[in-house]
C-alpha cells in the first residue's frame, strides 16, 4: 500500500504543479494578490506530496520490495542498508524522482521566504518553477515511472551497478542535483522578471542567495564526482574532459559568471540584460547536461537509461524551456532599463572582464563537448576531443583571467585606482614569482610550466590573503582595533577571499600533478615496484567475501623514501549478482600527497599493479572545499536577510479588516 500511496502522491503532485503554474500567472496579470499567493501554498503542497512519494520509494528499497520493478532492477537483498538507500538514486527513475524532490524543495523554500522576496517576483518565480515541475513530473510519470509493479514479485533483485556502490557516489548525485536544480530557481527568477518587465537591484539581491546556494552545491558535487572517479575507476586520473563531466562543468562556469554579474547588478544596477541571459543560459546548460547524460546520446559511467523515447521527451523539455525563455528574452529584454555607464578601471569593469573570460571558457567547453556529437550525428565519423583540445583552448583562456583576478578583487567600485591595485598586489605577485623561480631551480630538468602554474596558484592565495589584510589593517592600529575591523568586515568579503584562495589551492594541486610519477609492473609476492618517492612490496593476495561481492585483496608493504609505513591494501571486487568487476584502489594519504595503488589482471602467477606517486593531489579537492566554504560564508551575509521585521509588521496590520 505504501508503494501505491507514493505513486498516487506523485500523480497528485502533477495536478498541483499545473495549478502552481497557471493561477499565480493569472493573478500577476490582474494584480490580484490572492491568486498570486496560491503559488506559495501550491509549492508547499507539491513538495509535501513529492517528499511522500520519495519516502515511499526509499521504504520500498529499504524493505527490498521486489514487487516494484525499479527496486528489483537496481537493488539486492544482500546489500548493506546504506547502499540499499543510495540505490534509490543510482538509477534513472529514482534519480529523476530525487531531481523533482529537490526542485519542489527549492519551490517550498522560495514559498517560505516571504520576507526577503518582493511578492510579485516570488509569484512569478513560483509560477515558472511550477511549469518546470509540471514538465519533469510528467516526464517521470509517463516515461520513467519508478513505481511500476511486477507480478509475481521476483525473489531477488539484480543489484545496483557495482561501480555505483560506493559512498562517494552515494552523495555525489544529490549534491550535483541541488546545484543543477538550484539554477532552475535563478532561471525562474529571470523569467519572472521578464514577464513582469521590471528588473532592478532588488531583483539581484533577491536572486543572489539562490545562485550562491546552487553554485556551492554544484562545486561540491563536481569535486565529489571528480574524487570518486579518481579513486574508483582506478586510472589515477581525476578529470577526463569526459562529456558527462563537461555537462556539469559548463553550468558551473556559466553559474560562476552569473554569480559575479549579479554582484554588479546589485551594486550598480547595470549588466541587467546580460545577467538575465546568463541566468537563462545556466539553467539551459543544466538541462542540456541532463539531456546528454540520460538520452543515450553518449554512454559513460552514468549509463543508465538509454531509451530513445525518454531522450525525445527530454529534448522536448529542453526546447520548450530554452526556446521559450529565449523567445521571451528577445521580446521583453529591450524593454528593460539599462543601467548607467561605468569607468573602465573599476571593480565592475573587472567583473565584466571576468564574465567575458568565463563565458568564452564555457563556450570552449561547449564546442569541445558537442562538436563531436554533432559530427557523429551528421557524418557518422567518430572523433575524440580529449585533453589536448582543452589544454590548448581552455587553459589559455583561464590563465589571463586568473592573473588579473587578484587585481580586480582589490579594485574599488565606481572608480578604481589601477596603479594602487597593482601596488597592493605587487607583494603577493613578487612572493609567488620568487616561489616559482625557486621551484624551477630545485626541480631542474623537470617540467617548466608547472612551477609557473604553482606560482599562479600561490598568487591567488596570497592575493586573497593580502586583500583581506589590507582591509583589516588599513587604518587600524593595534590588535583590538584590527580585530573589531575584521569582525565588521561583511561576510561576503570573507567569502570572496576564501573562494578566490580556493581557486588558487586547486591550481596548485593541478599544477603539482606534473610531478606525479607512475609505474606499472607484474608482481609476485615479495617483489617490489617503485614510483617517485614510494616503493611497494607485494606481501600476499587473499580472497575475501563482502556482503554482495567477493574480493581479491592484495596487501602491500609501503615505503616512502625508504621509511616503512603501515601496509596498504588494494582490491578487485566481483559483485556476484551482476558478475561485474570493480577496482578498489589502495590510497595512502601523507599530508597532501598520496600513494595510489591499483590492481590489474592476474598474469600467470603475477599480478599487474600500477603505482602512482601523486604529490599535493589533495589540494585539488581541498581547494574546491575552500571555494564552497567561501560561498557559504557569502551566503550567511546578513545583508541578504533584508528588513525582515518591518515587512512582517506591515503584513499583520490589515488582517483583522477581513
Partner 1 sequence: MMIWAIFAAMTGGAIFALLWPLSHGGKAAFADKADAASLYRSQVAEIDRDLARALIGSAEAEAARAEAARRLLRATAGQAAPAGETEPSLRRRRASSALMLSVVPLMALLVYGVYGSPTAPDQPLAARVAEAGPRQDFAVVFARMEAHLAANPGDARGWSLIAPIYLRQGRYDDAERAYAAAARHGRPEAEIWAGLGEARTLAASGVVTASAREAFSEALKQDPGNARSAFYLAVAKEQDGDRSGAIAALRQLLASAPPGADWAGMVRAKIDSLEGAPARDAIASLPAGQRDAAIRGMVEGLASRLEAGGGSLEEWTRLIRARTVLGQKEEARAAALKARERLGQDASALAALDALTDELALKEASP
Window 91 to 130, contacts with partner 1 (CB under 8 A): 118-120
> Among 89-97, 398-406, 435-443, 639-647, which window interacts with partner 1 (CB under 8 A)?
639-647
176 binds partner 1 (CB under 8 A): no
11 binds partner 1 (CB under 8 A): yes
349 binds partner 1 (CB under 8 A): no
265 binds partner 1 (CB under 8 A): no
Which residue in the set 81, 377, 419, 474 belongs to the binding site for partner 1 (CB under 8 A)?
474
At residue 595's C-alpha, the angle toward residues 591 and 600, to 5°, is 160
Which residue in the set 377, 419, 441, 655 belongs to the binding site for partner 1 (CB under 8 A)?
655
d(CA 382, CA 99): 32
State whether residue 550 is helix, strand or coil.
Answer: strand
Which residue in the set 55, 73, 77, 403 belongs to the binding site for partner 1 (CB under 8 A)?
77
Number of neighbouring beta carbons within 10 Å of residue 574: 15
How many residues make contact with partner 1 (CB under 8 A)?
A: 87
Contact call for residues 222 and 248 (beta carbons, < 8 A): yes
Which residue in the set 594, 596, 647, 648 belongs to the binding site for partner 1 (CB under 8 A)?
647
For the bound state, the minimum distance from the C-beta of residue 603 to partner 1, rounded and expressed in Å, comes to 24
> Among 16-24, 241-249, 272-280, 596-604, which window interacts with partner 1 (CB under 8 A)?
16-24
Residues 432-451 close enough to bind partner 1 by CB under 8 A? none
31 binds partner 1 (CB under 8 A): yes
Which residue in the set 26, 331, 371, 483 belongs to the binding site for partner 1 (CB under 8 A)?
26
480 binds partner 1 (CB under 8 A): no
Residue 501 half-sphere exposure toward CB, CA atoms < 13 A: 20
651 binds partner 1 (CB under 8 A): yes
d(CA 456, CA 450): 10
Which of 192, 183, 247 is closest to 217 using CA atoms?
A: 183
Helix or strand run (H / E) with residue 528? strand 528-531
- C-beta closer to partner 1: residue 3 or 618: 3
69 binds partner 1 (CB under 8 A): no
> Among 301-309, 367-375, 545-553, 563-571, which window interacts with partner 1 (CB under 8 A)?
545-553
145 binds partner 1 (CB under 8 A): yes
The grid cell for 374 is: 554533432
For the bound state, the minimum distance from the C-beta of residue 452 to partner 1, rounded and expressed in Å, comes to 32
Residues 313-342 close enough to bind partner 1 by CB under 8 A? 337, 340
545 binds partner 1 (CB under 8 A): yes
Q: What is the 3-state secondary structure (H, E, C) of 105-173?
A: HHHHHHHHCCCCCCHHHHHHHHHHHHHHHHHHHHHHHHHCCCCCECCCCCCCCCCCCHHHCCHHHHHHH
d(CA 278, CA 208): 13
- Tell me the CA distances in angstroms from 336 to 271, 331, 333, one per residue in order: 11, 10, 5
At residue 308's C-alpha, the angle toward residues 306 and 311, to 5°, is 85
473 binds partner 1 (CB under 8 A): no
345 binds partner 1 (CB under 8 A): no
- C-beta closer to partner 1: residue 524 or 639: 639
> Among 65-73, 222-230, 520-528, 615-623, which window interacts with partner 1 (CB under 8 A)?
65-73
d(CA 449, CA 439): 11
Strand order across the beta sheet in which 517-523 lies: 517-523, 606-614, 593-603, 586-590
For the bound state, the minimum distance from the C-beta of residue 553 to partner 1, rounded and expressed in Å, comes to 16
> Among 211-219, 438-446, 468-476, 515-523, which window interacts with partner 1 (CB under 8 A)?
468-476
Residues 229-258 close enough to bind partner 1 by CB under 8 A? none
* DSSP label of 35: H
Amino acid at each position: 500500500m505504501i508503494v501505491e500511496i507514493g505513486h498516487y502522491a506523485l500523480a497528485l503532485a502533477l495536478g498541483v504543479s499545473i495549478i502552481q503554474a497557471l493561477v499565480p500567472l493569472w493573478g500577476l496579470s490582474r494584480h490580484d494578490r490572492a491568486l498570486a499567493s496560491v503559488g506559495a501554498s501550491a509549492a508547499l503542497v507539491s513538495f509535501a506530496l513529492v517528499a511522500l512519494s520519495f519516502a515511499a520509494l526509499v521504504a520500498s528499497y529499504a524493505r527490498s520490495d521486489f514487487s516494484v520493478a525499479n527496486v528489483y532492477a537496481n537493488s539486492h537483498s544482500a546489500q548493506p542498508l546504506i547502499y540499499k538507500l543510495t540505490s534509490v538514486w543510482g538509477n534513472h527513475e529514482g534519480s529523476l524522482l530525487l531531481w523533482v524532490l529537490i526542485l519542489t524543495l527549492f519551490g517550498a523554500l522560495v514559498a517560505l521566504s516571504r520576507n526577503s522576496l518582493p511578492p510579485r517576483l516570488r509569484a512569478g518565480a513560483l509560477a515558472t518553477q511550477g511549469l518546470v515541475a509540471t514538465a519533469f513530473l510528467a516526464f517521470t510519470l509517463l516515461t520513467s515511472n519508478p513505481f511500476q509493479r511486477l507480478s509475481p514479485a521476483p525473489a531477488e533483485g539484480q543489484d545496483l551497478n557495482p561501480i555505483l556502490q560506493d559512498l562517494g557516489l552515494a552523495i555525489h548525485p544529490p549534491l550535483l542535483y541541488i546545484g543543477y536544480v538550484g539554477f532552475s530557481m535563478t532561471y525562474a527568477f529571470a523569467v519572472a522578471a521578464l514577464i513582469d518587465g521590471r528588473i532592478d537591484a532588488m531583483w539581484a539581491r533577491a536572486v543572489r542567495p539562490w545562485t550562491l546556494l546552487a553554485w556551492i552545491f554544484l562545486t561540491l558535487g563536481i569535486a565529489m564526482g571528480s574524487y570518486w572517479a579518481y579513486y574508483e575507476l582506478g586510472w589515477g586520473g581525476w578529470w577526463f574532459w569526459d562529456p558527462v563531466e563537461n555537462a556539469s562543468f559548463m553550468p558551473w562556469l556559466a553559474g560562476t559568471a552569473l554569480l559575479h554579474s549579479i554582484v554588479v547588478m546589485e551594486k550598480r544596477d547595470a549588466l541587467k540584460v546580460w545577467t538575465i541571459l546568463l541566468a537563462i543560459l545556466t539553467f539551459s546548460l543544466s538541462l542540456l547536461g541532463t539531456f546528454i547524460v540520460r538520452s543515450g546520446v553518449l554512454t559513460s559511467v552514468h549509463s543508465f537509461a538509454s531509451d530513445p523515447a525518454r531522450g525525445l521527451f527530454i529534448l522536448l523539455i529542453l526546447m520548450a524551456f530554452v526556446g521559450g525563455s529565449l523567445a521571451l528574452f528577445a521580446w521583453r529584454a529591450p524593454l528593460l532599463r539599462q543601467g548607467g555607464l561605468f569607468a573602465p578601471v573599476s571593480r565592475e569593469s573587472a567583473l565584466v572582464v571576468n564574465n567575458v573570460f568565463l563565458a568564452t571558457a564555457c563556450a570552449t567547453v561547449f564546442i569541445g563537448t558537442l562538436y563531436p556529437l554533432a559530427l557523429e550525428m551528421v557524418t557518422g565519423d567518430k572523433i575524440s576531443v580529449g585533453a589536448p583540445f582543452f589544454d590548448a583552448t581552455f587553459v589559455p583562456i583561464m590563465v589571463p583571467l586568473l592573473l588579473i583576478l587578484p587585481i580586480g578583487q582589490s579594485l574599488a567600485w565606481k572608480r578604481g585606482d589601477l596603479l594602487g591595485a597593482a601596488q597592493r598586489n605587487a607583494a603577493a605577485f613578487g612572493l609567488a614569482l620568487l616561489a616559482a623561480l625557486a621551484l624551477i631551480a630545485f626541480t631542474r630538468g623537470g617540467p617548466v610550466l608547472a612551477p609557473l602554474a604553482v606560482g599562479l596558484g600561490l598568487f591567488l592565495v596570497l592575493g586573497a590573503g593580502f586583500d583581506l589584510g589590507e582591509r583589516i589593517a588599513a587604518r587600524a592600529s593595534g590588535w583590538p582595533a584590527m580585530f573589531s575591523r575584521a569582525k565588521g568586515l561583511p561576510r561576503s568579503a570573507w567569502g570572496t577571499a576564501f573562494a578566490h584562495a580556493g581557486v588558487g589551492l586547486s591550481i596548485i594541486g593541478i599544477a603539482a600533478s606534473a610531478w606525479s610519477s607512475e609505474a606499472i609492473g607484474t608482481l609476485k609476492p615479495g617483489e617490489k615496484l617503485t614510483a617517485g618517492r614510494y616503493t611497494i612490496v607485494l606481501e600476499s593476495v587473499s580472497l575475501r567475501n563482502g556482503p554482495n561481492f567477493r574480493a581479491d585483496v592484495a596487501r602491500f608493504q609501503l615505503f616512502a623514501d625508504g621509511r616503512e609505513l603501515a601496509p596498504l591494501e588494494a582490491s578487485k571486487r566481483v559483485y556476484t549478482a551482476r558478475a561485474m568487476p570493480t577496482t578498489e584502489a589502495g590510497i595512502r594519504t601523507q599530508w597532501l600527497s598520496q600513494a595510489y595503488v591499483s590492481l590489474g589482471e592476474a598474469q600467470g602467477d603475477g599480478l599487474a599493479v600500477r603505482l602512482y606517486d601523486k604529490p599535493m593531489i589533495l589540494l585539488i579537492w581541498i581547494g574546491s572545499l575552500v571555494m564552497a566554504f567561501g560561498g557559504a560564508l557569502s551566503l550567511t551575509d546578513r545583508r541578504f536577510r533584508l528588513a525582515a521585521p518591518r515587512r512582517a509588521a506591515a503584513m499583520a496590520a490589515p488582517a483583522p479588516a477581513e
